[in-house]
Every structure is written in C-alpha cells, then in structure tokens.
Amino acid sequence: MISFLKPAPHIERLSADKQDPTYRRLRWQVFMGIFFGYAAYYFVRKNFALAMPGMIEAGLYTKADLGYALSFVSIAYGISKFIMGSVSDRSNARAFLSLGLFLSGATMVAVGLFPWATSSIYIIAILLFLNGWFQGMGWPPCGRTMVHWWSKKERGTIVSIWNTAHNVGGAVPALLLMLATSIYANQHGIPSVNDVAQSEIWREALYYPGFAAMIASVFVYIVMRDTPQSCGLPSIEEYKNDYPDDYDAEKDEKELPAKEIFIQYVFKNKLLWYIAIANVFVYLIRYGVLDWAPTYLKEVRHFNIDKSSTAYALYEIAAIPGTLFCGWVSDYVFKAKRGLTGFIFMVATTIALYIYWKAESQDLAMAMMVLVGFLIYGPVMLIGLHALELAPKKAAGTAAGFTGLFGYLGGSVAAGALIGWASTKYGWDSGFHIMLAGSVIACLLLLLTMVQENKHHAEMQED
C-alpha cells in the first residue's frame, strides 16, 4: 500500500517533437481525472443531509441528534484535509485521489445498506467520521496536480473551472434520490413520487451515491497521472516558459520535508492565517444553508421530497456560473484582488440569505436559496485559490488543507451541530440568526483580508 502511494518516479524525457502533443493530451486527460474525481467525492460528502428528513419522519432521531452526527464528517474532514494534505504533497496524486474516493463511497454504502450502521447515533457518528477522513484525500491531490500541470498564468482560470466540480457532484445525490424515489414508486404501485414517504426512501439517499462514487474511483485511476516528469515531460514552468519571480528549479521541483512545509510555508504565513479564519464563516453559510435545506424546506416551507430535492440540486448547479463569474471578476475586473472580490460576493450573500429567511412564498424562498448558491461558492473558490498562490507547489496540498481545516473544523461543524441544536431548542429563526451573524463576520474578515492583501502587494513591489 505504501509503495502504491509513493510519488511516481521521473522517467527519461520524451524527444522534443513528442513533448508538446503529449503535454496537450495528458493535461486534459489529467483534468478529466481531477474534475470528475472531485465531483464524485461530493456524491458522498453531504448526501447524509438528504437522508435526515426521512430519519426524522420515521422517528429514529431528532434534528439535534443528526446535527451532532453530521458534524463528525466536518470534524474528520477538516483534520484529514490538513494532515492528508501534507501526505499528498509526498504521494502519487493518481493513487491518492482514487483510493480516498473508493473508501469514502464504500463507507456510505455500508451506512445505507446495513441496519447495524444506523442502529445508534454513535455508530452513525463513527462511520461519518471515517467518511470525512477519506474525504480529506480529495482536495489536496487535486491542488498538487493543478500546480504541476498548469502554470501560474493559467492557474486562475483552471482552478475556477475545476472548482465547479464540487457543484456538479453536489447536485448528483439529489438527482439520484429523485431516481430512487421514482423506482420505489413504480415498484410499490404508488401513482406519484410526491406520495412516497421520506421515511421509506432515506437509505437509498446513502447507498446510491456510494456505489456511484466507487465506480467513479476506477475511472479516476485509469485517466489520472502524477507529475509531468513522471510521464517523460519537462516541468510546467519550463514547458510554458512561465517562471514565478522566485522560481528555483532545484528547490521548487524537490519534494519538501513535512517540517519545512508546516513551519516555513504555513505557520509563518500571515496572509494564509487571515484567509483561513475567514473561511470558518464562509463555510458556516455554505453548509448552514445546504445541510439543513431538505429539513428546513420540509418543516417550514412544506416542500415535498421532489421539490426539496430540486432546490438542493439547483443550489449546487447555480454555483457553477456563480463560481466562473466570480473568477472572471477577480481576474479581469479587480486584477487578482481576491479579498475585494470575496468581500463583495459575501455582502450580496448576506442580503440573499436574509430574504431567503423572510420570504413569504415558496417560489421566492427557492429563488433566494439558489441565489445564495450562486454567490457563496465564489468566496469558497477564491480562498482555495489564494492558498495555492501563497505557497510553493510542493507545499500546495498542505496550504490548501490548512484553510480547509478552519473551514470544516469551525464553519461546517457549526453548520451541522450548532444550527441543529439551536433550531431544535429555539426554532428555525435562531438558526438563521447564527448564519446571518456569521455572514456579517465573514464580510468583515474578508475586508481585513483585502486590506492586508493590498499591504502585501505594496511590500512585494518595494522589494
């Protein structure tokens, strides 16, 4: 297993006439691997949220119970993304990405198929923790891959396109649940999917996406490659003649020891700390809306299973144009000022979130939920991109994992456990009070990031 995960060795270079066509072919082959691979991680990242209304309806557990269990995904993912980020910086991205996906899918299949797996909230929490840990093997190898196969001038565009993968993948569980509901209705002679009780269909929300993720892991392993040098190609900097100002081939192409990565390029990086803390509150909104949408829309807005699944899917789908638009605004309107762009998008998110809470009609509530999805993933993408830009490419996985540690261990855990507890004890209004307060704090922190970013650029110009 250890040798399976070791970085692929450099091989003898291809002849000059073969390098360009091979690079062009492999770059898009590799992109397919990281795009569809990371999308498949989201088949089983938060699909448990779709099962929760049925479990509540069946009287198995309360919202507080399930919020507690759901938080274990985020706790494990936050820690794993940081630790596995360090491991991935010294691993074969191809093997690392596909292995984590297979194990994550297998875990959710077990939760859905075996009655013992949901017989206790503590067993559920343990299995969700395992799933979260395997999920931490997704982002870091993708980040490592992008900084090895695309140069700095290309990276903003490629990251924004790749970042839509989690929205494509995040929409799939809801679509699979709609398919499972239709199959169930046909098998039991139920005339309409709207008549299917959610208490009868919640297990399918778990194992349908799980099997899909396991199948996708095989595809990922087939199409992925590790580094260009492992394929007989020059480094991306040499190929594109696009060298960072401080680029040193001997240093930048050498695998770094974990201690140097952590101390020199993460813990001493002030700007990385700022965006990591901001990430806590961005993730609180991202998952506060998404995780609880199926339950909130059922209990408060009286959506049926088909309509709530549609809203859940549209939230993720809307993020695709939203993320691309945010990337374009960041690059071409604000000239790579990530903090300013993130601040503007978070202000708009706060307004949309408030209207979502106060909307008097189902249609307006759904429209505002979709608008939040369009807006919130821009700041999510910018923070991840900024982290990649603030560290050498051999430390990219760790830097991205560091911001993810804060986002998931802080924001996503609060979205699950805190909002679940508050809405159970004090009602749904209290959950929105928490999210709106977090959204305002995110705006202030991104404003601080913008100020520090401007200072950082000024210092670089002086040097």
Whether the CB-CB separation of 240 and 151 falls below 8 Å is answered with yes
- Residue 150: both structure tokens together: 């695309």
Digit-coded pLDDT (tens) for 122-160: 999 999 999 999 999 998 899 889 888 888 777 767 877
* Cα–Cα dist 286/457, whole Å: 29
The pTM of the full predicted model, rounded to 2 decimals, is: 0.74
User: Which residues, in sequence order, are CB contacts of 215 under 8 Å at separation 6+?
Assistant: none
426-436 pLDDT, tens digit each: 999 999 999 99
State pLDDT tens for residues 67-98.
888 888 878 888 887 788 778 777 888 999 99
User: Please, which residues have CB within 8 angstroms of residue 108's CB and are 6 or more apart in sequence?
Assistant: 44, 47, 48, 131, 206, 207, 209, 210, 213
Q: Give the pair of three-digit tokens for residue 74.
A: 């985020």
Query: For 432-447, b where at least 16 C-beta lie within 10 A, e where not — what string?
Result: bebbbebbebbbebbb
pLDDT tens for each residue of 178-236: 898 889 888 888 887 777 878 888 999 999 999 999 999 999 999 999 989 999 999 88
